[in-house]
Amino acid sequence: MSLFRTKNLDTMVADARTPGGLKKVLGPTDLILMGIGAIVGTGIFVLTGTGAVTAGPALTLSFIIAAIACGFAALCYAEFASSVPVAGSIYTYSYVTLGEIVAWMIGWDLLLEYGLATSTVAVGWSGYFQSLLEGFGMVLPEALRAAPGAKPGVDTVFNLPAFLIMMVLTWMLSLGVRESARVNNVMVLIKTGVVLLFIFVGVGYVKPDNWQPFMPFGMGSVMSAAALVFFAFIGFDAVTSAAEEVKNPSKDLPIGIIGSLGICTVLYVIVAAIMTGIVPFMNFKGVDHPVSLALKYAGQDWVAGFVDLAAILGMSTVMLVMAYGQTRILYAMSRDGLLPAKLSTVHPKYGTPYFATWMVGIIFGLIAAVVPLDVLAELVNIGTLAAFSLVSLAVIILRKKRPDLHRAFRCPGVPVVPALAIIFCLALMSFLSWHTWVAFVVWLAIGLAVYFGYARSRSKLNAQ
Side-chain-side CA neighbours of 365 within 13 Å: the count stands at: 18
pLDDT at position 317, please? 81
Average the pLDDT over 36-46 and give the result: 77
Share of the chain above pLDDT 70, in %: 93
Q: Chain-centre distance of CA 377, in angstroms?
A: 12
* More confident site: 121 or 453: 453
pLDDT at position 55, please? 94
8 Å CB contact between 421 and 389: yes
Residue 377 has pLDDT above 70, yes or no: no
pLDDT at position 16, please? 63
pLDDT at position 313, please? 81
Helix ranges (H only) for 203-300 are 218-229, 249-278, 290-297
* More confident site: 85 or 121: 121
Instruction: Supply angle C-alpha 457, 460, 464, rounded to 5.
Output: 95
DSSP assignment of 132-196: HHHHTT----GGGSS-TTSSTTS-----HHHHHHHHHHHHHHHH-HHHHHHHHHHHHHHHHHHHH
Average the pLDDT over 41-64 and give the result: 86
Query: Among 288-292, 436-440, 443-447, whose mean pLDDT is lowest?
Result: 288-292
Cis peptide before 415 (omega within 30 of 0): yes
Q: With bands split at pLDDT 50, 70 and 90, how would you rate the model's confidence at 248? A: confident
pLDDT, one tens digit per residue, over 86-138 is 766 778 888 888 889 989 998 898 888 888 888 888 887 887 788 778 767 88
Average the pLDDT over 240-250 and give the result: 76
pLDDT at position 413, please? 92
SS3 per residue for 41-98:
CHHHHHHHHHHHHHHHHHHHHHHHHHHHHHHHHHHHHHHHHHHCCCCCCHHHHHHHHC
Average the pLDDT over 268-272 and give the result: 93
Query: Among 173-187, 393-407, 446-460, whose mean pLDDT is lowest?
Result: 173-187
For 104-133, letters b (16+ CB in 10 Å) and e give bbbbbbbbbbbbbbbbbbbbbbbbbbbeee
pLDDT at position 59, please? 95
Average the pLDDT over 274-282 and give the result: 94
Measured distance between the N- and C-terminal CA atoms of the chain, rounded to whole angstroms: 14
DSSP assignment of 297-348: HTT-HHHHHHHHHHHHHHHHHHHHHHHHHHHHHHHHHHHTTSS-GGGGPPPT
For the chain, the 3-state helix, strand and coil shares in percent, each to the nearest 5, are 75, 0, 20
Return d(Cα 108, Cα 175) in angstroms, integer.
26
pLDDT at position 429, please? 87
Beta bridge partners of 246: 26
pLDDT at position 288, please? 64
Side-chain-side CA neighbours of 154 within 13 Å: the count stands at: 13
**Neighbouring residues of 259: CB distance < 8 A, sequence distance ≥ 6:** 28, 31, 32, 35
DSSP assignment of 330-341: HHHHHHTTSS-G
Residue 205 has pLDDT above 90, yes or no: yes
Return d(Cα 317, Cα 45) in angstroms, integer.
13
**Neighbouring residues of 199: CB distance < 8 A, sequence distance ≥ 6:** 267, 270, 271, 274
Average the pLDDT over 152-167 and give the result: 88
Q: With bands split at pLDDT 50, 70 and 90, how would you rate the model's confidence at 286? A: low
pLDDT at position 338, please? 93
Average the pLDDT over 427-445 and give the result: 87
Residue 358 has pLDDT above 80, yes or no: yes
Residue 62 has pLDDT above 90, yes or no: yes
Which amino acid, one-letter code, is at 292?
Answer: S
Q: With bands split at pLDDT 50, 70 and 90, how would you rate the model's confidence at 378? A: low
pLDDT at position 329, please? 85
- As a whole number, the mean pLDDT across the chain is 85
